[in-house]
Amino acid sequence: MLTLLVAIVIVFCLGMGVIALAAPERVAAIFGTTTTPAARNEIRAVYGGFGIVIAAMLAWGLRDPAMRPGIFLTVAASFAGMALGRVVSAGLERPGGFYPSWFYCTVELAMAGTLWAARFP
């Protein structure tokens, strides 16, 4: 079951990465922002490149039991850090509703928990 959940995390990261690289405006639109060339570059780098590499690392962790604990722990910590950033941000500037901020916070925490639970083969 955990392997299936990790596969879902991989697909989510890969999908996010591909969409961000191909159409960064779509990512910006989720958060109600417009883009400039510099903003699109940032979205492609942070959401695109990062998402694709994280998906690849998680796939490596699934196939290599020796690497799994380190990879899964590191990526789980990254997702938990994203969620923490959203909580801090919510304390400073109240989000307008559940979506998108709290929705993605929940997704990030779920992915972090999945990877934490699956870190040992």
Number of folded domains in the chain?
A: 1
Q: Which domain holds residue 47?
A: 2-117
- Reading the block at residue 7, the tokens are 């596969």
pLDDT tens digits for the chain (121 residues)?
999 999 999 999 999 999 999 999 999 999 888 889 999 999 999 999 999 999 999 999 999 999 999 999 999 999 999 999 999 999 999 988 999 999 999 999 999 999 999 999 8
Residues 71, 10: Cα–Cα separation, whole Å: 13
Q: pTM for the whole thing?
A: 0.92
The structure tokens 């591909």 sit at 18
